[in-house]
Amino acid sequence: MVDNPDMEARTMSLAGVLVFLPQAHHDERGFFTRTFDAVIAREHGLRPEEFVQDSQSRSHRGTVRGMHGRGGRGESKLVRCARGAVHDVLVDARPSSPTFGRQMSITLDDESFAHLFVPPGVLHGFQALTDEADVCYRIDREHAPGEDLSVRYDDPDLAIAWPQPVTLVSARDRAAGSWAGLTEELLSAGDAARRPGRPASAGR
């Protein structure tokens, strides 16, 4: 591994999830910090050259966005909070994963500058903890709305503990499906893929 005092990488409780923690340099002017390091990313199995889209959202305090994922071959993303703070939640929706069905949370903010790597097949969502919170995403596939997956932020089986009262949720997120429905769909798809004699064109 590369020994870099400006950036530390840690594994998290969900398989394949990483958090990159930069060392910010503060002085009377303010601070300077590295937010991404391709060399460190490669050392931990990422392919920086595959990230093709950067996006940013702004959310007001109490807003929840999630829980979102992507079907097909999924997508990887790097997530950080450039302004304010968010309570970030991941749910492992990969049937073949040793942590399938488990969830984790982490605070992303503009003080620790943590940068979260979310692998394909993991649902992602967050709640804004400050009056305004800007979240930046770096994604390795172009957006394809037809592959979107979503589970309601208040799904009873997930029972996500949002730390603040939920004030705003989009109509799309309110209309999301259930965790039970998604897992049934994912497990059925996996069974079909393993079934002998399955036509090569099936599922395309």
Active site residues: 68, 137
Handedness of CA 95, 135, 113, 161 (dihedral sign): negative
Residues paired with residue 150 on neighbouring β-strands, in sequence order? 68
Q: How many residues does the chain have?
A: 204
For residues 51, 34, 68, 46, the Cα torsion angle rounded to the nearest 10 degrees is 40
Residues paired with residue 7 on neighbouring β-strands, in sequence order? 22
Q: Cα separations (Å) of 204 from 34, 71, 141, 150, 190?
A: 41, 12, 18, 21, 14
